[in-house]
Chains A and B, each alone.
Chain A
């Protein structure tokens, strides 16, 4: 005992030291020194190292923060009902926490070390903002650890002074929550920074802590931790159940698994509500961030999430339905299973419907775009909100039927009460569906608000239903006692599956939280300039999440294995040992079966995430034109950029064969196709007059690239030609061929607007009599009308056009002589030429 305590003390102490040292450590790093602000972790790279360590740390932290919350509640129930079993279970929960504490600390320390050593620049900035919280944090940690030990070691000593013991438990949770709230302030700050000025300097630490997403994060994680803790405890109980040797042991673990699952599902049912709030706050902070999270490249993450949550819901329901088999009298409700499973499955189908579908070109064309007119409607938020709320209600009904299993109400008003309950369920579903459908008829901002009505109607229904239920079944007739331990074996796989799936889901959501910042360390403030700044695609993510899940499971098994040592001595006592045939399986077999199940589940998620098309979020690249003299490579590179981007060429000229010829080897073909024509001329001609040299089999559909809407200028076309020549041929375009300033944004407009011929325009200016009144050089004095020597700078094309067509509309002050109307006197071509000439006069 002493030995273990010693190890923990060292762990806690080391954390203490690390955290206190951090500001000093990172101060040593110069903030301006960008080269050394990243260091490379060997083999796997810095990002992966931090990612894995952070997620495992978070999983364990969720466990050790979640379990004490319901442990205290279970103990309280034990005190109220005076049932020793509850007390025993609460104690067992805490034992698991105790074991996990050391691993949590180790990973926490590892994470801190990794951040200091691998991301010093980022760490320096963050510690600069949150220095004050870093001084409090270790103290909270100390309080948490002290309370946990006090709570555990005084369990038997304080067995006759339960209230004092309970108080210690509550204090433990207060410290636990404070730790989480503090850590959340850092994590939420990097998502939605506040309390800083535009340069990122700290203005007010309290504002930095209470940023937009801080409280939603707290609530979401609070509920998530309880739920996660429950799921892991249930999986543990499922494991123990299958390996149980005695009836009593089996009954105990059956009960523990049931309780764990009940806790998990209660937390789980309220999680979407916290999720809405969190997302709403993210949108409120930055619409951009919200769209990245929900609609952008992360949108398919939510389909995977829906798949996983659907599986968790179905598995939970299955566990309740199977649980009915250990309750005498529950057969009465078996007939409802098929309806419930249909409802949940239908909701699952709606919920997992993507808005944007994966489709081949043919399929996309058939349904008229990337989303389906019928099914696509289900991919919107309104339909999904409906589905998840009704799924929650259905699961609640499953739970109610389970609880009613062996009870017959004795109250006189049972029929009325039951009818009211039914009405509650149906009206809540009605409200949910009404707002779901109505949501399609209102604008988005209003629609988002509807989820509140849906959620509150479901919550109201669940709460009032439960209150009626309590009174309905007070002093109810019991048909038979629940036969704990008599649940079919396969139900325990549900518990294992929920635990594993839950862990995987945590990993995925951890990625979502981090990935929405894309290439920012602190969103909008501190850019990630490391090699890993891009955000990986979902397939890669799923691989990493699977590795993290496996590592977590291995560590958890290790903890459970260790925790088994203490209790072994007393396990086989006076309990009836099961007959040989019913004896539980050996640990090895259970472990093997659990491993197969976990591998199947994790494999399935990973496979699915890898099967969908992979989209990475690359760092937005600025197509910078290099200053000064261009080299031939520059021109080819710019040409490639135009070919793939502004020029729209790659839409038709695909490598896989598209509407236009494959241009993979075009440089070579241009040299040989017309022997009497230089390749440069051939390519130029093909771009400007596409129908001149059609390739056999292709129609004359290509628009001239120098005309709108693409409107490439001479230089840009030459660059494209250079790029095309580089595809299998010799580049003959020289830097001198490119007109000055061809790639500057200004010239784009000029090419388009000056459709006319400037020299003809100059000729017209004199011939049509403009020059009688208007001067066109700066040296000349203004005649009867304004001097136009710099009109191209002063006026835009619309102004010039209108002045010629309807001179009266734009009379410059001081010039009274009416200009004649030239509309009738110019042909359209002449008009364009004249406008082009005037525009070219820039003074």
Chain B
């Protein structure tokens, strides 16, 4: 038997919901799920209203349930369904209201900007460093690059590895205890989107150096400014990029107009 348009579309929406909720791994946050479903439902709505025949096919089952039918036989059959629907409707509203109003023990969802804009300038051990346009000074020394990578690896495994892990994927020993988890450098959305100076800022100033826009900055990244030297940080940055095979973002070449 061919199902009517109403159930077809209903099934389509349910299928989209199940795919979005269960097929994608790891599971997406509920905020995104609702956002996606909103778009899906809107697109389905547009699809239905864009064809008069389809709209009628869609509305007819609804109409026949809600509006009294001429035919006593059909009317008899619909009566129960109608009573059921109108009986369940307030119940559904009540459940929905309860779910929305009941205060759970869960923390509220929060938005955290992972890559807030860096300051124009920082003070690194009282030495002013202009982050904007800053390049890794060690990169200029091409001959010793391999040496820097090796030295950077030492810095990494002495300091960073505990959280960021030996694969640089944020799965270090302490990773499970931290939330948010340590940055995963192998993620294409992470260091390849950033200039090296950005990493320099984040390493030297840590979670506490994040601007207000980056709040809630529950980042456990310590400030390494007083532990590592400037050169150490540049070395470890080279190491991180080299060992993940990522390229740092370059600064745009700009003509000096001003």
Stretch among B37-45, B69-77, B148-156 lining the A interface? B37-45
B50 interface residue (CB < 8 Å to A): yes
Stretch among A85-93, A368-376, A407-415, A549-557 lining the B interface? A368-376
Q: State whether A352 touches B180 (Cβ < 8 A).
A: no
Q: A352-B35, A356-B111, A358-B109 are in contact. Are A443 and B179 (CB under 8 A)?
A: no
B115 interface residue (CB < 8 Å to A): yes
A106 interface residue (CB < 8 Å to B): no
B125's nearest neighbour on chain A, judged by CB, is A749
Q: A311-B42, A325-B52 are in contact. Are A369 and B257 (CB under 8 A)?
A: no
Q: State whether A345 touches B43 (Cβ < 8 A).
A: yes
Residue-by-residue, is A387-419 near B (CB-CB < 8 Å gives 1, otherwise 0)? Answer: 000000000000000000000000000000000
Stretch among A35-43, A75-83, A281-289 lining the B interface? A281-289
Q: State whether B39 touches A349 (Cβ < 8 A).
A: yes
Looking at the assembled complex, report how far the CB atom of A539 sits from the nearest CB atom of chain B, in whole angstroms.
Answer: 12
In the complex, chain B residues whose CB is within 8 Å of the CB of A490: 49
In the complex, chain A residues whose CB is within 8 Å of the CB of B108: 360
Q: A211-B257, A288-B117 are in contact. Are A296 and B213 (CB under 8 A)?
A: yes
Looking at the assembled complex, report how far the CB atom of B40 sits from the nearest CB atom of chain A, in whole angstroms.
Answer: 7
User: How many residue pairs, one in A and one in B, have C-beta atoms under 8 Å apart?
Assistant: 232
Q: Which of B242-256 contact A (CB under 8 A)?
A: 247-252, 254
In the complex, chain B residues whose CB is within 8 Å of the CB of A380: 188-189, 193
Q: State whether B179 touches A364 (Cβ < 8 A).
A: yes
Query: When chains A and B are docked, how far (Å) is the Cα of A376 from the Cα of B189?
Result: 8
Q: State whether B112 touches A370 (Cβ < 8 A).
A: yes
Q: A369-B184, A374-B24 are in contact. Are A356 and B113 (CB under 8 A)?
A: yes
Identify which of A315, A317, A354, A440 contacts B32 (C-beta below 8 A). Answer: A354
Query: When chains A and B are docked, how far (Å) is the Cα of A338 from the Cα of B227?
Result: 61
In the complex, chain B residues whose CB is within 8 Å of the CB of A315: 46
Count of chain A residues with Cβ under 8 Å from any Cβ of B? Answer: 96
Query: When chains A and B are docked, how far (Å) is the Cα of A755 from the Cα of B55?
Result: 78
Looking at the assembled complex, report how far the CB atom of B107 sits from the nearest CB atom of chain A, in whole angstroms.
Answer: 5
Looking at the assembled complex, report how far the CB atom of A547 sits from the nearest CB atom of chain B, in whole angstroms.
Answer: 24
Identify which of A341, A444, A646 contacts B250 (C-beta below 8 A). Answer: A444
B114 interface residue (CB < 8 Å to A): yes
A348 interface residue (CB < 8 Å to B): yes
In the complex, chain A residues whose CB is within 8 Å of the CB of B226: 708-709, 711, 748-749, 752
Looking at the assembled complex, report how far the CB atom of B36 sits from the nearest CB atom of chain A, in whole angstroms.
Answer: 6
Q: State whether A443 touches B250 (Cβ < 8 A).
A: yes
Q: A359-B110, A366-B27, A367-B29 are in contact. Are A291 and B52 (CB under 8 A)?
A: no
Which of B180, B187, B227, B229 counts the most A-chain CB atoms under 10 A from its CB?
Answer: B180
B78 interface residue (CB < 8 Å to A): no
Residue-by-residue, is B186-207 near A (CB-CB < 8 Å gives 1, otherwise 0)? Answer: 0111001101000000000011
Count of chain B residues with Cβ under 8 Å from any Cβ of A? Answer: 78
Q: State whether A338 touches B47 (Cβ < 8 A).
A: yes
Which of A334, A348, A367 counts the most B-chain CB atoms under 10 A from its CB?
Answer: A367
Q: State whether A620 touches B254 (Cβ < 8 A).
A: no
Q: State whether B248 touches A292 (Cβ < 8 A).
A: no
Looking at the assembled complex, report how far the CB atom of A734 sits from the nearest CB atom of chain B, in whole angstroms.
Answer: 28
Query: When chains A and B are docked, how far (Å) is the Cα of A651 from the Cα of B218?
Result: 5
B220 interface residue (CB < 8 Å to A): yes
Query: When chains A and B are docked, how far (Å) is the Cα of A341 from the Cα of B224?
Result: 52
Identify which of B51, B117, B189, B222 contacts A292 (C-beta below 8 A). Answer: B117
Looking at the assembled complex, report how far the CB atom of A284 sits from the nearest CB atom of chain B, in whole angstroms.
Answer: 5
Query: When chains A and B are docked, how far (Å) is the Cα of A376 from the Cα of B115?
Result: 13
Query: When chains A and B are docked, how far (Å) is the Cα of A303 from the Cα of B120?
Result: 26
A286's nearest neighbour on chain B, judged by CB, is B132
A656 interface residue (CB < 8 Å to B): yes
In the complex, chain B residues whose CB is within 8 Å of the CB of A369: 114, 170, 180-181, 183-184, 187
Q: State whether B170 touches A296 (Cβ < 8 A).
A: no
Q: State whether A364 touches B180 (Cβ < 8 A).
A: yes
Stretch among A44-52, A427-435, A610-618 lining the B interface? A610-618
Q: Which of B127-158 contact A (CB under 8 A)?
A: 132-133
Identify which of B42, B112, B211, B212 contacts A356 (C-beta below 8 A). Answer: B112
Q: A444-B249, A648-B208 are in contact. Are A295 and B24 (CB under 8 A)?
A: no
In the complex, chain B residues whose CB is within 8 Å of the CB of A344: 43
B30 interface residue (CB < 8 Å to A): yes
Q: State whether A360 touches B109 (Cβ < 8 A).
A: yes
In the complex, chain A residues whose CB is within 8 Å of the CB of B123: 745
In the complex, chain B residues whose CB is within 8 Å of the CB of A598: none
In the complex, chain B residues whose CB is within 8 Å of the CB of A345: 39-40, 43
Identify which of B31, B46, B112, B213 contacts A314 (C-beta below 8 A). Answer: B46
A259 interface residue (CB < 8 Å to B): no
Chain B residues in contact with chain A, CB under 8 A? 24-32, 35-36, 39-40, 42-43, 46-47, 49-52, 106-120, 123, 125-126, 132-133, 170, 179-181, 183-184, 187-189, 192-193, 195, 206-208, 211-213, 215, 218-220, 222-224, 226-227, 229, 247-252, 254, 257-258
Closest 8 CB pairs of A and B: A709-B222, A345-B43, A297-B213, A613-B111, A359-B29, A321-B50, A443-B247, A444-B249
